[in-house]
A and B are shown apart, each in its own frame.
Chain A
Amino acid sequence: MIEAIVFYFFAAVLIGASFAVITVKNPVHAALFLVLAFFSASGLWLLLEAEFLAIVLVLVYVGAVMVLFLFVVMMLDINIARLREGIWAWLPFGALLAIVMVIEMWIVLGSERFGLAGTIAPEGHPAGYSNTKELGMLLYTHYVYPFEIAAVILLVAIVSAIALTMRRRKDTKSQDASAQLAARREERVRMVSMPSGRK
Chain B
Amino acid sequence: MAYFQDLFGDAWPLVWTLVKIVVIVMPILGAVAYLTYFERKVIGYIQVRIGPNRVGPIGLLQPIADAVKILLKEIIIPSGANKFLFVAAPVLAIAPALVAWAVVPFSPELVLSNIDASLLFILAVTSMGVYGVIVAGWASNSKYAFLGAIRSSAQIVSYEIAMGFALVGVLMVAHSLNLGQIVKGQTGSGFWSWYFVPLFPLFLVYLISGVAETNRAPFDVAEGETEIVAGFHVEYSGMTFSVFYLAEYANMILVSALCSLMFLGGWLPPFNFAPFTWIPGFLWLLLKIAFILFLFLWFRATFPRYRYDQIMRLGWKVFIPVTLVWIVVIGAWMQTPFWLW
A interface residues, Cβ below 8 angstroms from B? 28, 32, 35, 51-52, 55-56, 58-59, 62-64, 67-68, 70-71, 74-75, 130, 132, 174-175, 177
When A and B form their complex, which 7 residue pairs have the shortest distance between CB atoms, in order from nearest?
Answer: A63-B127, A58-B124, A59-B124, A55-B120, A55-B124, A74-B138, A67-B153
7 contacts between A and B (CB under 8 A): A55-B124, A59-B124, A62-B128, A70-B138, A74-B134, A74-B146, A174-B309
* Residue pair B117, A55 in contact (C-beta under 8 Å): yes
Specify which chain B residues have a CB less than 8 angstroms from the CB of A64 in the assembled complex.
127, 157, 160
Q: How far is the CB of B163 from chain A (nearest CB, A)?
A: 11
Separation of A75 and B177 alpha carbons in the complex (Å): 38
Q: How far is the CB of A161 from chain B (nearest CB, A)?
A: 16
For A174, the chain B residues whose CB sits under 8 A away are 309
Report Cα–Cα, A95/B177, bound state, in Å.
Answer: 46
Q: Is B34 an interface residue (CB 8 A)?
A: no
| A-chain residues with CB within 8 Å of residue B131 when the two chains form the complex | 35, 67
| Contact residues of A: prevailing secondary structure | helix
Contacts known (A58-B124, A59-B124); A52 close to B134, Cβ less than 8 A = no
Q: Closest A-chain residue to B156, C-beta based?
A: A67
- Residues of B that sit less than 8 Å from A by CB: 85, 115-117, 120-121, 123-125, 127-128, 130-131, 134-135, 138, 146, 149-150, 153-154, 156-157, 160, 177, 309, 313
| Chain B CB within 10 Å, residue with most, of A35, A70, A130 | A70
Q: Which residues of chain A are near B156, meaning CB under 8 Å?
A: 67
The distance from the CB of A32 to the nearest CB of chain B, in whole angstroms, is: 7
Taking a contact as CB atoms closer than 8 A, the residue among A68, A75, A132 that contacts B116 in the complex is A132
Tell me which residues across on chain B come within 8 A of A58, comparing CB atoms. 124-125, 127-128
Query: For A74, what are the chain B residues with a Cβ–Cβ distance below 8 Å?
Result: 134, 138, 146, 149-150
A70 to B136, alpha carbons, bound, how many Å?
13
B117: chain A residues within 8 A (beta carbon) = 51-52, 55, 130, 132
Q: Contact between A59 and B120 (Cβ–Cβ < 8 Å)?
A: yes
A71 touches B160 (CB 8 A): no
Q: How far does the Cβ of A22 sit from chain B's closest Cβ, in whole Å?
A: 20
A158 to chain B, nearest CB (A): 13
A32–B135 touching, CB < 8 Å: yes
Residues of A within 8 A of B313 (CB): 177
Q: How far is the CA of A71 from the CA of B135 in the complex (A)?
A: 10
Docked Cα-Cα span, A130 to B175, in Å, equals: 12
Q: How far is the CB of A169 from chain B (nearest CB, A)?
A: 15
What's the Cα separation between A68 and B309 when bound, in Å? 18
B123:A67 contact, CB within 8 angstroms: no
- Give chain B nearest CB distance to A57 CB in angstroms: 8
Find B134's partner among A56, A71, A132, A175 (CB 8 Å cutoff).
A71
How far is B150's CA from A63's CA once the two chains are assembled, in angstroms?
15
Chain B residues within 8 Å of A132, by CB: 116-117, 120, 177
Closest to A174 in B: B309
What residues of B have a CB within 8 angstroms of the CB of A35 in the complex? 131
Given contacts A55-B120, A58-B125, 18 further A-B pairs with CB under 8 A are: A32-B135, A51-B117, A55-B123, A56-B120, A62-B124, A63-B123, A63-B130, A64-B127, A67-B134, A67-B157, A68-B153, A68-B157, A70-B134, A70-B153, A74-B134, A74-B138, A132-B177, A175-B309
Q: Which residues of A contact B85 (CB under 8 A)?
A: 32
A71 near B130 with CB under 8 A, answer no
Give Cα A132–Cα B115 distance, bound, in whole angstroms: 13
CB distance from A187 to the nearest CB of B (A): 22
Contact call B154/A62, Cβ cutoff below 8 A:
no
B123 proximity list for chain A (CB < 8 A): 55, 59, 63
Assembly CA distance A75 to B134 (angstroms): 12
Chain A residues near B120: list those with CB within 8 A.
52, 55-56, 59, 132
Contact check, B150 vs A55: say whether CB atoms are below 8 A apart. no
The winner among B134, B146, B156 for most chain A CB atoms within 10 A is: B134
Nearest chain A CB to B125's CB is how many angstroms away?
Answer: 8
Rounded to whole angstroms, the CA-CA distance of A194 and B333 in the bound complex is 60
Question: A56 vs B130: C-alpha distance in the bound complex, in angstroms?
Answer: 17
Task: Assess whether B116 is in contact with A63, with CB atoms less than 8 Å apart.
Answer: no
Q: What's the minimum C-beta distance from A147 to chain B, rounded to whole angstroms?
A: 16
Q: What residues of chain A lie closer than 8 Å to B128, measured between beta carbons? A: 58, 62-63
Question: In the bound complex, do residue B124 and residue A63 qualify as a contact, i.e. CB atoms below 8 Å apart?
Answer: yes
Chain A residue numbers with a CB within 8 Å of B124 are 55-56, 58-59, 62-63
**Cα-based distance from A59 to B125 in the complex (angstroms):** 8
* A28 contact from B121, B138, B154, Cβ within 8 A: B138
Cβ distance A131 to chain B, nearest Cβ, rounded Å: 9
* Contacting residues, chain A, for B177 (C-beta < 8 A): 130, 132
Smallest beta-carbon distance B139→chain A, Å:
9
Q: How far does the alpha carbon of A132 sit from the alpha carbon of B176 in the complex, in Å?
A: 10
Minimum C-beta distance from A186 to chain B (A): 25
Q: Cα distance A74–B313 when bound, in Å?
A: 25
Known A32-B135, A58-B128, A132-B116: A63·B146 in contact at CB below 8 Å:
no
B154 near A71 with CB under 8 A, answer: yes
